[in-house]
Amino acid sequence: MSAVIVENTRNQPLVNLRGVTKLYKRGSETVEVLKRLDLAVPRGDFLALMGPSGSGKTTLMNILGGLDRPTAGEVIIDGQPIHTLSDSALSGWRARHVGFVFQLYHLLPVLSAEQNVALPLMLTNLSGPERKKRAMAALTLVGLEDRAKHKPSELSGGQEQRVGIARAIVTDPTLLLCDEPTGDLDRKAGDEILELLQLLNKEHGKTIIMVTHDPHAAARAERTLFMNKGVLGEEPEA
């Protein structure tokens, strides 16, 4: 088995992308979705990514979360060059270090809120009582301890998203990736979710990268970058 290489992380950003390129084949055509992209995200940052559909935001998020690999370039998370990991090692790294929050909550309808939150812990060696304890702690953090036994059909959209966030943080991940987390919610519920993300960032030190089309949502982040045609910038393209 090849050794896992971890770089010296002192004074380094938590996320460090160097020259990341992603190519896809579409018939006989090669499409360059990401173009030699560089990105540094400090530990504890709350970064919003904006840009039109097809700009490469989702591809970038998939690469950051270890769901996809770059065609070229380096992806270093907390000192770990994840682009060099085998598929099995990458899967294990992802389970330990990344929490995902989606626009559509992807909760299992037959499970309670507590059981949905505990699902990522099934990949660990924790006992059943310890998994339950951690799931309840995560639900308490998002303000849903009194809904632990409720199934998704018995929850509002905002409550379902809170369960999704509790599931994302139950393993205490290094990085929280949020893909349009308020896109399926009304303004009031969306604002509550954004306040929760700010709480996780400011009071619990979570590093968050959030894709959003909504300037109102992006304003809650510490900073915003814009993607267009596979390129990142600090201003939207005119």
Q: In what order do the strands lie in the sheet with 207-211?
A: 98-101, 175-179, 207-211, 46-50, 223-228, 231-233
- Residue 164, judged by CB atoms within 10 A of its CB (0-12, 13-18, 19+), counts as buried
- Classified as helix, coil or strand, 200 is helix
Strand ranges (E), the chain: 15-26, 29-41, 46-50, 72-77, 80-81, 98-101, 175-179, 207-211, 223-228, 231-233
The pLDDT value recorded for residue 9 is 46
- Over residues 98-113, mean pLDDT: 91
Confidence of residue 4 (pLDDT cuts 50, 70, 90): very low
Q: Is the per-residue pLDDT at 10 higher than 90?
A: no
Q: Are residues 207 and 175 in contact, defined by beta-carbon separation less than 8 angstroms?
A: yes
Distance CA 178, CA 167 (A): 12
Q: Is the per-residue pLDDT at 3 higher than 80?
A: no
Q: Are residues 70 and 61 in contact, defined by beta-carbon separation less than 8 angstroms?
A: no
Which of the 8 DSSP states describes residue 28?
T
Confidence of residue 8 (pLDDT cuts 50, 70, 90): very low
Q: Which of 4, 13, 168 is nearest to 82 (CA)?
A: 4
The pLDDT value recorded for residue 87 is 93
Residue type for position 105: Y
Higher pLDDT, 118 or 236: 118
The pLDDT value recorded for residue 238 is 54
Residues 6+ apart with CB under 8 A from 188: 158
Q: Are residues 207 and 44 in contact, defined by beta-carbon separation less than 8 angstroms?
A: yes
Please give the mean pLDDT across all residues of the chain. 90
Q: What does the pLDDT look like over 16-59, one tens digit per residue?
A: 999 999 998 888 888 899 999 999 999 999 999 999 888 899 99
**Sign of the Cα pseudo-torsion (83, 87, 92, 95, in order):** positive
The pLDDT value recorded for residue 237 is 63
Confidence of residue 6 (pLDDT cuts 50, 70, 90): very low
Q: Residue 163: what are its φ and ψ, rounded to 5°?
A: -60, -40
Can you name the CATH fold of 44-68+87-233?
Rossmann fold (3.40.50)
The pLDDT value recorded for residue 11 is 57
CA atoms within 13 A on the CB side of 91: 5
Q: Both tokens of residue 128?
A: 């059943």
Q: Are residues 77 and 18 in contact, defined by beta-carbon separation less than 8 angstroms?
A: no
Q: What does the pLDDT look like over 154-213, one tens digit per residue?
A: 999 999 999 999 999 999 999 999 999 998 888 999 999 999 999 999 999 999 999 999
**Sign of the Cα pseudo-torsion (78, 80, 81, 86, in order):** negative
Which of the 8 DSSP states describes residue 132?
H
